[in-house]
Structure 1
Amino acid sequence: MASFPLRAASILDAAPTGLTLRPATDDDMAFLRQLYAASRHDEMAAVPWPDAAREAFLASQFALQHAHYLSHYACAAFLIVMEGTRPIGRLYVDERERDLHVIDISLTLADQGHGWGSALMRVLMRQASARGKGVTLQVSRFNPCAHALYRRLGFIEAPGGDAAYLPMRWVS
């Protein structure tokens, strides 16, 4: 599996109170695989496969996603979200000419619903504003909770997208 690029600095120079951000390393792969699998739990629950087949499928899908992110976003910041010494999520951000693009933001199921995602996005939005940029992302059309979160934060639908993903953009 491809390795994370080595970067000393992150795109964010601050984190919400109670959290820290650090660059992802290859040592994080087991956590990231589990995080990915958990993010697809509801979807996979409807698939009548044995557990071993589900796990193999999710491992292969994670490997493909990881390779895609590294090849298409070679200059991105791949960050692990930490609460104390415990990893609770990932935040992958690509700095573009006009925007900071959120490639992925995921939190463990146990850490969702506590305001961490909103807090991370607000920090990212402040960083973008300080750089004279907006923030873009793509949200699954099948995730109404995420739609509501981004709308509360001031994101609007952007042109484009496909049957699975809705592009959204925030501008200060």
Structure 2
Amino acid sequence: MPDIRLRHAEASDLPFLRQLYGILRAQELAQTGWPNDLRQAFLDSQFALQHRHFVAMYAAADFYLVQCGDEPIGRFYLLRERPYFLVVDIALLPSWRGRSIGTDLLAWAQRLVEQDHDAAGIDLHVDERNVAAQRLYARLGFHVSTHASPYIAMRWSCESTTQLNTA
């Protein structure tokens, strides 16, 4: 099992976070036919906008860098508001997917909710095209709460899990 850990992201992590964003959008942008320099400029501007939005809208969130040893491999942004915590974002480098890291991060967040008597569950949003993530969330007990294309809102409720486990 790799040494996966979280640490709070710092300004010095922005180059990695920008790179991660670009990697996650690469396939989508490859279809544009744009030259590389235009693609990179677009990615840089979109990352900057997203980062400013996350920091402004979710200022109280924990912005974690996911690491394997000292190597950054992803990000996990979690807002611990009550009654429902919010997974603002979860993203791993493609080479690190399929290793149960996402499962472990979400299970950890679920345990945090279960330990917080004022918390009722976790909300998150997933792109409707990301079927693999939807399957993961469903396997962990998340259910679709709303669907407003292109995103699906999903919720995990602590009470329903407790009822299921005690029945």
Distance 2:135 2:82 in 1: 27
Normalising to structure 2: TM-score of the pair?
0.89
More helix by share: 2
**Structure 2 SS opposite 1:121:** helix
Equivalent positions of 1:1-172 (< 5 A) are 18-132=3-117, 133=119, 134-159=121-146, 161-172=147-158
In our comparison, the structure showing a higher alpha carbon Rg is 2
Identity rate, percent: 39
Measure the CA separation in 2 of the matches of 1:64 and 1:57: 11
Q: TM-score, normalised by structure 1?
A: 0.87
SS at match of 2:34: coil
Aligned-residue offset at 1:162? 2.0
In structure 1, list runs of 5 or more residues that go unmatched.
1-15
Q: Which runs of 4+ in 1 moved over 4 A?
A: none
- Distance in 2 between residues matched to 1:126 and 1:149, nearest whole Å: 17
Cα root mean square deviation, aligned: 1.4
Structure 1 residue matching 2:86: 3-state secondary structure:
strand
How far is 1:71 from its partner?
0.7
**Matched-pair contact (CA < 8 Å) for 2:18–2:47:** yes
Matched positions, count: 156
- How far apart are the structure 1 equivalents of 2:82 and 2:105? 21
Q: What is the identity, as a one-letter code, of the residue corresponding to 2:80? A: E
Q: Which amino acid aligns with 2:140?
A: L
**How far off is 1:18 after superposition?**
2.5
The SS at the match of 1:158 is strand
- 2:91 aligned partner, one-letter code: S
**Helix, strand or coil at the partner of 2:42:** helix
